Amino acid sequence: MIVVTSSLLISMIKNLTLLDFNFQVVLCTFCMYSILLNSFCSNNISRDGRFFYLMKTYPVSPKEVILSKILFCSISSFVSILISGIAIWATGQLPFTKVLAVMIISIVLNFSIICLATRKDLNTIKHARGSENPSSTNFVIFLGLVFAVGFTIVAFLLSIWLKTMLNVSHGNFIIFTILFVASLIVLAFALLYLFRKLDNKYKEIVP
């Protein structure tokens, strides 16, 4: 799906503008699909149902319980990103270095979303019910769209600015660096949000 969508968008933009925005298009479709396809992370806590209370009796810390859930989702996310990246490279839409750059940014953003969604689910759940938490699911979808569109717009504007104002024809490294730093800032915020008073919140949840 990512390959087909990005291919159609690349062809359309080239026909309309005669410019090469392949990196930006692939980045947008990559981030959007990879985040939305991993929206199951939005129910990391509520999915357990009554088993969640049983886990609280185990001799493990709240951080270990939460991180184990995040790790499972992160592995699944990484595998889907890796497969998509190989498909994009194999179809010749981007060279290997650009595909690698898109994958790195997507991995960081996906991990950030997983952390944010897991804590959101923990915060909003009132009792473990073994079903979806609509609030967390909507939260993940909204953030996924915001990050995908936001990072793509920044990449488009940087590319145009570097080519027209600074006459830099090969500014991909600059664009990647700025986007990577931005994704790290998002990750830092996600980790702060995840671990802020985590132990207290974990213990507050009772049947």
**pLDDT in 10s for each residue of the chain, 207 residues:** 667 777 776 677 666 665 667 787 888 887 777 777 766 677 777 777 777 777 777 777 888 888 888 888 888 888 888 888 888 888 888 889 888 998 999 899 889 888 888 888 888 775 545 455 566 667 777 877 888 888 888 888 888 787 776 666 567 788 888 889 999 999 999 999 988 888 787 777 766
pTM of the model: 0.82
Distance CA 162, CA 53 (A): 54
Closest C-alpha among 77, 85, 82 to residue 6: 85
**Separation of alpha carbons 55 and 6, rounded Å:** 43
* H or E stretch at 76: helix 62-90
Helix H or strand E segment including 157? helix 134-164
Count of other CB atoms within 10 angstroms of residue 10 = 20
Contact residues for 62 (Cβ-Cβ < 8 A; gap 6+): 198, 199, 202, 203
Tell me the C-alpha distance between 126 and 45, whole Å: 11
Calpha distance 111→101 (Å, rounded)? 16
Could you tell me the two tokens for 186?
Answer: 């998002």
User: Is 1 exposed, middle or buried (CB count within 10 Å of its CB: 0-12, 13-18, 19+)?
Assistant: exposed
Cα dist. 200→50, 66, 203 in Å? 19, 13, 5
How far apart CA 118 and CA 114 sit, in angstroms, is 6
Any idea what DSSP says for residue 169?
S
Residue 129 identity (one-letter amino acid): R
How much is the pLDDT for 9?
A: 67
How much is the pLDDT for 128? 47
pLDDT given for residue 74 in this prediction = 87
